[in-house]
Structure 1
Amino acid sequence: MDQVANLVIDLSLDSQKFKDEVPRIKKILEDASGKAEISAQRQKNLLELLQKQGRAYIDGSGAVFNATTRQKQALILNSQAYEQVAQRVDLTQRNIEALNQKMREEQTQTAAVAQAQDVAAAAFYRQIDSVKQLSGGLQELQRIQAQVRQAKGSGDISQGDYLALVSETVAKTRELSDAEALATQKKAQFIRSLKEQAAAQNLSRAELLRVKAAELGVSSAADVYIRKLDTATKSTHALGLKSAQARREIGVLIGELARGNFGALRGSGITLA
């Protein structure tokens, strides 16, 4: 290219010299033309290379952008998922705490109710234990049992205490009934024994009563009534026992004395002087 730029044609040359210069000039031009084609091809190749690199850069940039976008989207989704999980965990913790608080309150209330039920049951046990005699005792036990049922209905005592108290009243009723039956049996045996001893030993009623009073450990208390009864009996015999009512009254008094029921002697129609 420099040769072409520096090419100078001397027009003063004659025709022969000019012809001689033509091949040289032609060669220079041909060389310059070849170099120009090579340069153009190089430029073309460079342009194509740049275009390829540009497309690769654009494609790469697009791929990077797409990957970055997907990564951002994944991070957003993960963040949202984590936030939802955190909210659920927080809600679960609040629910658990509320449930624990409710359970603590119920346990406190249950303990207070159980304590009150124990106190009420203990009071019923004391009432049942205080019943000692069958006379009037059955009615008292029935009254207590009715109160126990009422307390069970209102929740003042537990189901277990209710069943135990019912069982206790039944056992107490049986105990009093057995004691009364045994006492009645002993009284009958005592009267029968008195009759047998009187017939066998020819003892007076007063003597037999004193023996029984000694057995019962009430000799001092019974002796006064035995003496008065003996006096009344002798007085009645002195009258020839004309009064059937007096005889019946004396028989009743003897029976009450045998049973140890001294209070009945005070209410007798016969004056024990």
Structure 2
Amino acid sequence: MKIAVYGQRFWKKNIPYLSRFLGYACNHSIEIYVEKSFFDILSSFEEFKNLDFPVFSHYKELTKDFSLMFTFGGDGTILSAIPFIRDSGIPIVGVNTGNLGFLATFNKDVFIQKIDKIFSRKINIIPRSLLCLKTSVTDHNKFFNFALNEIVILRKETVSMITIDAYIDNEFLTSYWADGLIISTPTGSTGYSLSCGGPIISPYNKNFVLTPISPHNLFSRPLIISDHQKIHLKIHSRVKYYSLSLDTRLTSLNKENELYIQKAPFYIYLLEEGKNTYYKTLREKLLWGIDQRN
């Protein structure tokens, strides 16, 4: 069995957990590949200075014979790992050593307790849909044009709002006059979209949601559409560029670029700590339904 290990940062307090994990893998003859930057971070600790694992630094090095990827961090770490995973089908085990941990559902203690079940794949594997982006002018061949959480269009270098003409399956929807627009998957519905008034969508649903950011219209509300529909956006701005983000990746585009967004032709697979983890996380981490009066 081959596994990949990824993280963006690491704290000394988490050394015991990672040491037990690496020890378990080595004792069970599991091949461990560590992302190059994360390997350098780990090697800076005295406890890991003698690490001798092969490294990877490009998605082409993660071939389909890898069984799992383990991410150590929070939800942002999982999002940053997606460009490595892409369409390989390698499931992700998110170990929460960060803050919220909405996608990284394994806390450190549970992760160690269930490590046998994780490696034997006797645990829930949930497919998550992604958004796919194409532009009319700019060539994004070097830019990973998929998003697990959301695609966001934002005004740039101006305090003036932008206008976004939206079309669904080539039919005109509306013109959003706002600071921007969020196109979110069910996975991302608990992120930026939620903070802008968007609905929570269970990951078991096949939908996308369009959520305007600070719209200058009392009747401009989030809209849920089928993930089989295609979105076409035209951006109008007083300045030449607007900002575009895909999960954790940010770039600028000329306003001549029209955007074409649809469901990606592949899924990302996340291992969950147990049944009904999603609703449990809503209650415990977003305090969903909590009545502070009681």
Would you call these one fold, judging by a TM-score over 0.5? no
- TM-score between the two structures when normalised by the length of structure 2: 0.19
Of structures 1 and 2, the one scoring higher in RCO (CA 8 A, sep 6+) is: 2
Instruction: Provide the TM-score with structure 1 as the length reference.
Output: 0.20
Q: Which has the higher strand share?
A: 2
Rg: which structure is higher? Answer: 1
* Structure showing the higher helix proportion among its residues: 1
